[in-house]
Homo-oligomer: A and B are copies of this chain.
Amino acid sequence: MSNKTAAIIGGGVIGGGWAARFLLNGWNVRVYDLADDAERKINEMLDNARGSLPQLADVKMPPEGALSFVADVKSAVENADWIQESVPERIEIKHSVFKEIQNHAPESAVLGSSTSGYKPSVLQQGATRPGQILVAHPFNPVYLLPLVEVVAGAETDPAVVDRACEILTLIGMKPLKVRKEIDAHIADRFLEAVWREGLWLIKDGVATTEEIDDAIRYGFGLRWAQMGLFETYRVAGGEAGMAHFIAQFGPCLQWPWTKLMDVPELTDELVDTIATQSDEQSGMHSIRELERIRDNNLVAIMRGLKQTDWGAGQLLNEHDQRMKDAT
């Protein structure tokens, strides 16, 4: 992977995270950012990344690539293999940056956008080389979290999508090919729903930010670090399976639980689609096996957190101490 170069256009929290991810995986990185303090901030982020990302590996990381800060888009993107745009979420800025990128980028480069909201087809409007443009939406901190949503627009070359996924895998990420363009892709739609509900709970005086965070990190947050929504519910449904779970809990969607009440109709077809997809995803394991896998994962996560003495880990340490004191 040596001798590869990534051009980072926009070096904020997301662009800087991309820079660290590429650098520590042996890529050379050229950063273009308008802000005076971009270099300082990225170097601080790099210190964090150097202290954490290598701990995830049981083998030696490749030698770090060379990092440089450049004065214009042209200098960043020339001869680059991957060009990643992480500028503010305003379409006129994105379009202007992509225009400049296309003027100077190699035809072999992947042109990725970190946009959390725009569809790739919107980014491609007016593009001279739309085939190279796709969304590669990462999650903060980019140097640690594996997920990247990879979304092709109407004019994206499928070969570019494949190459993008291959490269992302090589730098330790989990590319998730999104099958249909949609505003905000997938994950941020959930974050949006949760964020909005959180705002309501605070506005209505039901919970504080800390209480909401505790409700997440001592409960379903621990589940979601290893299984997602559907696999978790599959296990919860027990031996009767996913269709049973939906039959049991589906109607709750018509209760006045959240502030926002427009719900999809739970037709037989939709229930069947979900049950079938869940079978395809997890049907190779029995419920018992899935429970054991889940439990082993939860133990592993929480044992890890004991060592950092944080959240659930701190709670366990305090509980240990209490049990020690009691004997």
**B residues within 8 A CB of A174?**
214, 218, 312, 315
Check if A190 sits within 8 Å of B186, measured CB to CB. no
> In the assembly, what is the distance between CA of A292 and CA of B47, in Å?
10
Check if A263 sits within 8 Å of B196, measured CB to CB. yes
> In the assembly, what is the distance between CA of A264 and CA of B281, in Å?
37
Check if A257 sits within 8 Å of B192, measured CB to CB. yes
**B residues within 8 A CB of A263?**
196, 199
**B residues within 8 A CB of A319?**
57, 169, 172
Question: Quick one: which of B184, B197, B260, B308 contacts A297, CB cutoff 8 A?
Answer: B308
> In the assembly, what is the distance between CA of A149 and CA of B212, in Å?
11
Q: A229-B212, A294-B141, A320-B58 are in contact. Are A193 and B260 (CB under 8 A)?
A: yes
> In the assembly, what is the distance between CA of A293 and CA of B311, in Å?
11
List 10 additional contacts besides A41-B238, A209-B278, A258-B260; criterion CB under 8 Å: A55-B299, A146-B315, A179-B206, A193-B193, A196-B258, A209-B274, A216-B229, A217-B224, A293-B308, A300-B307
The 10 closest A-B pairs by CB, nearest first: A213-B228, A221-B224, A300-B304, A260-B260, A147-B219, A225-B225, A304-B304, A216-B228, A209-B230, A147-B218
> Chain A residues in contact with chain B, CB under 8 A?
1, 12-13, 41, 44, 48, 51-52, 55-62, 89, 117, 139-141, 144-147, 149, 169-170, 172, 174, 176, 178-180, 182-184, 186-231, 235-236, 238, 249, 252-253, 255-264, 266, 270, 273-274, 277-278, 280-281, 288, 291-308, 310-313, 315-316, 319-320, 322-324, 326-327
